[in-house]
Structure 1
Amino acid sequence: MAYGPASVVGLLAVAGGAVSLVAGLAGLRHVWRLRGGGVAAWALIKPALQTSGPADAGDGHAEGERPARSLAGGRPRLQFTTEDERVIEVVCPVPPTRQQPLTIGKHVLIRYDPADPRTVVIHRRERLVRDYGFAGAGVAWMFLGLLVLVFAP
């Protein structure tokens, strides 16, 4: 069998589709695992930390870190208490949207991994459409690549 340009394109489509499929399935597995075995907790939404040049002297923050005045500077932080009474603070895994803003000072329901409490998902903000989209696009590209490999001269 002679390998031509169509075979190379077909192989690249199959390989790219496989990468996209694995990325989508990994994201879905992460959400399913935390939904099924994660611990529910209420998290306080705190302002994002902006990193910039040297901090002003005496402002009470570490060098280069200052609370953001608005959410435009980055993702907000989530602070919650685990079952064993540890206080954990993580960067929010999803950005705020116009339909679902993350208002500073409010509480959101999260699920965290008891083995690694820094791994969290926010209830009803899991971004499943993105993960299903990656998986679906991967299957479509793999199918297209296989068609090119089978029917191309």
Structure 2
Amino acid sequence: MDAVQIVFAGFTVLGGLVALLAGAYGLNRTRRISAAGQVVTALVKAAPPGADRPLLQYETADGQVLEVPAPAPPTRGLPLTPGSTVRISYDPDDPREVVLSGHERTRIDRGFMIVGAIVLLTGLTLAVTAR
């Protein structure tokens, strides 16, 4: 029975670690793009057929015009109606990476980190009590 508990604890630790790292990566990426990214105004275009996210069209500092899917669907209270404009920050190293100014998803990333830490600690507790 202890071997089953140790295997379960191992999978629990691994799952918690993945969630913790995903949240930390997302939070770091959002903060980096918000702080060091280029801020531009993007035109909101209608979502392509079969997609739930509208497209954002913007021009980079070097004159390149890009269209990327919005980082979140408009159902989250975002001002993403076709024809409107929004402020975005994009990563100068990879202009397809964007953050919607004022609507960063830091709560979701922090939630992943918190839940991941709790699951990780639960797995470690299971592993310690299995001995």
Cα distance in 1, alignment partners of residues 111 and 31 from structure 2: 16
Residue 91 (structure 1) aligns with: 69
Q: Retained in 1: the 8 A contact 2:2–2:130?
A: no
SS in structure 2 opposite 1:50?
Answer: coil
State the Cα distance separating 1:3 from its structure 2 match.
Answer: 4.8
SS in structure 2 opposite 1:17?
Answer: helix
How large is the Cα RMSD of the aligned pairs?
Answer: 1.7
Would you tell me which structure has more helix in proportion to its own residues? 2
Q: Retained in 2: the 8 A contact 1:47–1:104?
A: yes
* Correspondence 1:35-114 to 2 at 5 A: 35-50=34-49, 73-97=51-75, 99-114=77-92
Larger C-alpha radius of gyration, 1 or 2? 1
Cα distance in 2, alignment partners of residues 45 and 99 from structure 1: 15
Cα distance in 1, alignment partners of residues 77 and 46 from structure 2: 19
- Please report the TM-score for the alignment, with normalisation by the length of structure 1: 0.79
Cα distance in 2, alignment partners of residues 98 and 129 from structure 1: 13
- Please report the TM-score for the alignment, with normalisation by the length of structure 2: 0.91
> How many positions carry a matched residue from both structures?
131
Runs of 4+ in 1 over 3 A off after TM superposition: none
Q: Which amino acid aligns with 1:30?
A: R
Q: Retained in 1: the 8 A contact 2:79–2:86?
A: no
| Structure 1: gaps spanning 5 or more residues | 52-72
Kindly, what percent of the aligned residue pairs are identical?
41
